[in-house]
């Protein structure tokens, strides 16, 4: 029996309730609500969101971001492009930030996302991750972006909810149809009611790690979809970050893509050597001031020669420097002894210093179709530094042009320069190939050709 003054729970309409045979039946108008209080279309949207793909997702522990006072020039450049303040790029709605493996693309993308979010310029982000089944494909990309836009623009949520209610199977449609239906159509309706002349309107969508999407065809389809989207509206700008994989180079080089695209190659456009020096200097300072075994460190540590060698081995790629720092700053070991392991001045501990980096090298090299021949080719720059392509082809008795073709899948760690020299983008790759323990027990000089 209900007592006087008892409040009725929200969303319950007693006029549509029935008590029969001891069973209470509640009829809720499903046109407006679900059990959690959302409109059914919006609830359907939430079911298709990949939360770990968000730039600030709680699912990602210690995600990479730019160290303070590093990458300043490139982030400012991206910000100016987003605002339309860069005259040369103002008519180019797609910016491709490409770079070698470990160059710091994801760190830049996350830092740009945070900055643009604070400035009210960010519509959404999607960070692909090869090892995460919820974000290693394009299936949840559009829903994740649409959800984020609904948070930024409140009117967007009502429109997209109605669209999904009328077409609940929209998430089974092509990526192009999803983009046009769940992003462009509702976004255009919202912005039509507001002035779109302001440069402060949210307009940036960041897609990071495109090469980590598990299907090459999906990667191409997504890029072609972005082209169609930007031909429909100039209200959105896409920052796409990836390694310079050959199929992505080919797609971005299509005649109809070139006019709307600007490329930034981290290795050439923005030198990171000074940033890496700053990063290492700051990290060593933190270790010397805050590590529990700091009292055991030598007065001059690290030595200037050690410091210079670490910067050199980084080759402008942050992954090497970050890997070294994580290994050295272990709270259970003396930092100076861990650094000695890096320079092979003492035997390694149970945890090897370059496990993460070595896994990356193995993954990339294993993609080569003719692995034995590729390893034979890599032996030349590993042993002698840069080595001319035609010399390698002559020695290995390969047809002219074979080296370039065979190394097509390794652009993120290897380059062929203007002089046709094969060179490593990572100095530490030479150490990896030459040390059997690091390259899974197989040296490049051994009879077995596997990585």
| 3-class DSSP state of 115 | helix
- Least confident window among 54-68, 93-107, 399-413, 432-446: 432-446
CATH of the domain at 125: 3.40.50.300
Name the domain boundary from 269, 296, 331.
269
| Shared-domain flag, residues 402 and 317 | no
| Shared-domain flag, residues 291 and 332 | yes
Name the domain boundary from 305, 332, 353.
353
Give CA–CA dist 117/56, Å, rounded: 11
**Cα 318 from chain centroid (whole Å):** 14
Give CA–CA dist 446/444, Å, rounded: 6
Name the domain boundary from 338, 353, 368.
353
Confidence of residue 62 (pLDDT cuts 50, 70, 90): confident
pLDDT at residue 268, as a whole number = 52
| Shared-domain flag, residues 300 and 195 | no
In-domain check, residue 15: no
In-domain check, residue 60: yes
The answer to whether 269 and 427 have CB atoms below 8 angstroms apart is no
Domain range for residue 405? 358-434
Beta strands per DSSP E along 188-303: 204-208, 237-242, 261-265
Structure tokens at 309: 């060698």
pLDDT at residue 15, as a whole number = 36
Give CA–CA dist 90/77, Å, rounded: 12
The answer to whether 367 and 413 have CB atoms below 8 angstroms apart is no
pLDDT at residue 270, as a whole number = 57
| Shared-domain flag, residues 133 and 197 | yes
pLDDT at residue 20, as a whole number = 39
Confidence of residue 198 (pLDDT cuts 50, 70, 90): low
**pLDDT tens, position by position, 414-442:** 999 888 999 999 889 999 998 877 765 44
**pLDDT tens, position by position, 297-323:** 999 999 999 999 999 999 888 999 999
In-domain check, residue 25: no
DSSP β-bridge partners for residue 94: 238, 261
Interhelix angle 318-328/273-290, nearest 10 degrees: 10
**pLDDT tens, position by position, 363-375:** 899 989 899 999 9
Q: What is the DSSP letter of 414?
A: E
| Shared-domain flag, residues 315 and 389 | no
Structure tokens at 297: 């460190």
| Shared-domain flag, residues 48 and 77 | yes
pLDDT at residue 316, as a whole number = 87
**pLDDT tens, position by position, 21-36:** 444 344 334 334 444 4
In-domain check, residue 265: yes
pLDDT at residue 206, as a whole number = 98
DSSP β-bridge partners for residue 264: 97
pLDDT at residue 222, as a whole number = 97
| Shared-domain flag, residues 65 and 173 | yes
Helix (H) or strand (E) holding 384: helix 371-384
User: What sections of 97-215 are H helices per DSSP?
Assistant: 105-118, 141-152, 154-166, 175-179, 185-191
**pLDDT tens, position by position, 74-117:** 999 999 999 888 777 778 999 999 999 999 999 999 999 999 99
In-domain check, residue 88: yes
Structure tokens at 75: 């982030």
| Shared-domain flag, residues 325 and 384 | no
- The torsion angles phi and psi of 40, rounded to 5 degrees, stand at -60, -35
Measuring CA to CA, how many Å separate 187 from each of 83, 173, 228, 233? Answer: 18, 19, 15, 10
pLDDT at residue 439, as a whole number = 65
| 3-class DSSP state of 265 | strand
Structure tokens at 74: 């490139």
Highest mean pLDDT among 273-287, 354-368, 437-451: 273-287
| Shared-domain flag, residues 381 and 317 | no
Closest CA to 238 of 222, 250, 253: 222
Give CA–CA dist 145/202, Å, rounded: 13
Give CA–CA dist 112/122, Å, rounded: 9
Give CA–CA dist 319/293, Å, rounded: 25
| % residues pLDDT > 90 (the chain) | 68
Q: Which letter, b or e, does each residue of 171-184 get, where b requires 16 or more Cβ atoms within 10 Å of its Cβ?
A: beeebbebbbbbbb
Higher pLDDT, 386 or 406: 406
The answer to whether 375 and 444 have CB atoms below 8 angstroms apart is yes
Closest CA to 386 of 406, 399, 408, 403: 403
In-domain check, residue 26: no
**pLDDT tens, position by position, 132-174:** 999 999 999 999 999 999 999 989 999 999 999 999 999 999 9
| Shared-domain flag, residues 167 and 310 | no
CATH of the domain at 419: 1.10.10.10
Helix (H) or strand (E) holding 147: helix 141-152
| Shared-domain flag, residues 191 and 290 | no
**What's the whole-number average pLDDT of the chain?**
86
Number of domains in the chain: 3
Query: Above 70 in pLDDT, residue 223?
Result: yes
Cβ of 24: how many Cβ atoms within 10 Å?
A: 8
In-domain check, residue 65: yes
Query: Above 90 in pLDDT, residue 272?
Result: no
Which residues lie closer than 8 Å to 351 by C-beta, 6 or more apart? 327
Query: Above 60 in pLDDT, residue 246?
Result: yes
pLDDT at residue 38, as a whole number = 59
Confidence of residue 347 (pLDDT cuts 50, 70, 90): confident
In-domain check, residue 411: yes
| Shared-domain flag, residues 364 and 348 | no
The answer to whether 32 and 39 have CB atoms below 8 angstroms apart is yes
User: Residue for token digits 């080089």?
Assistant: 253
- Least confident window among 9-23, 59-73, 394-408, 421-435: 9-23
């Amino acid at each position: 029996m209900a007592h006087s003054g008892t409040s009725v729970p929200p969303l319950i309409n007693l006029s549509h309730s029935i008590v029969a045979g001891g069973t209470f039946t509640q009829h809720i108008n499903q046109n407006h609500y679900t059990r959690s209080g959302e409109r059914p279309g919006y609830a359907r949207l939430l079911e298709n969101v990949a939360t770990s793909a968000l730039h600030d997702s709680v699912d990602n522990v210690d995600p990479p971001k730019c160290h303070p006072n590093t990458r300043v020039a490139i982030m400012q450049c991206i910000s100016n492009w987003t605002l339309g303040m860069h005259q040369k790029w103002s008519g180019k709605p797609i910016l491709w930030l490409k770079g070698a493996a470990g160059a710091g693309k994801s760190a830049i993308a996350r830092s740009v996302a945070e900055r643009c979010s604070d400035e009210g310029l960010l519509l959404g982000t999607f960070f692909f991750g090869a090892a995460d089944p919820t974000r290693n494909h394009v299936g949840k990309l559009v829903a994740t972006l649409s959800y984020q836009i609904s948070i930024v623009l409140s009117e967007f949520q009502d429109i997209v909810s109605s669209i999904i209610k009328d077409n609940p199977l929209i998430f089974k449609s092509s990526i192009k149809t999803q983009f046009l239906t769940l992003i462009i159509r509702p976004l255009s309706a919202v912005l039509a009611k507001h002035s779109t002349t302001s440069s402060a309107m949210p307009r940036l969508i960041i897609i990071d790690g495109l090469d980590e999407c598990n299907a090459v065809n999906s990667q191409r389809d997504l890029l072609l979809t972005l082209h169609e989207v930007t031909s429909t509206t100039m209200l959105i700008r896409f920052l796409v970050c990836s390694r310079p994989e050959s199929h992505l180079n080919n797609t971005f080089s299509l005649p109809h893509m070139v006019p709307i695209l600007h490329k930034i190659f981290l290795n050439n456009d923005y030198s990171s050597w000074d940033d890496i020096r700053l990063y290492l200097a700051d990290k060593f300072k933190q270790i010397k001031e805050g590590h529990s075994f700091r009292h055991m460190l030598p007065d001059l540590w690290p030595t200037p020669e050690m410091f210079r060698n670490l910067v050199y081995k980084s080759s402008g790629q942050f992954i090497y420097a970050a890997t070294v720092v994580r290994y050295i700053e272990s709270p259970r070991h003396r930092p100076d002894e861990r650094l000695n392991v890096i320079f092979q001045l003492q035997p390694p501990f149970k945890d090897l210093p370059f496990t993460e980096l070595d896994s990356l090298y193995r993954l990339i090299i294993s993609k080569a179709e003719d692995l034995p021949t590729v390893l034979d080719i890599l032996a030349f720059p590993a042993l002698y530094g840069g080595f001319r392509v035609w010399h390698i082809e002559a020695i290995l008795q390969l047809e002219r042009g074979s080296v370039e073709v065979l190394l097509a899948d390794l652009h993120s760690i290897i380059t062929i320069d203007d002089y046709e020299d094969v060179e490593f983008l990572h100095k530490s790759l030479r150490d990896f190939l030459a040390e059997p323990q690091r390259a899974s027990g197989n040296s490049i000089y051994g009879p077995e050709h596997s990585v």
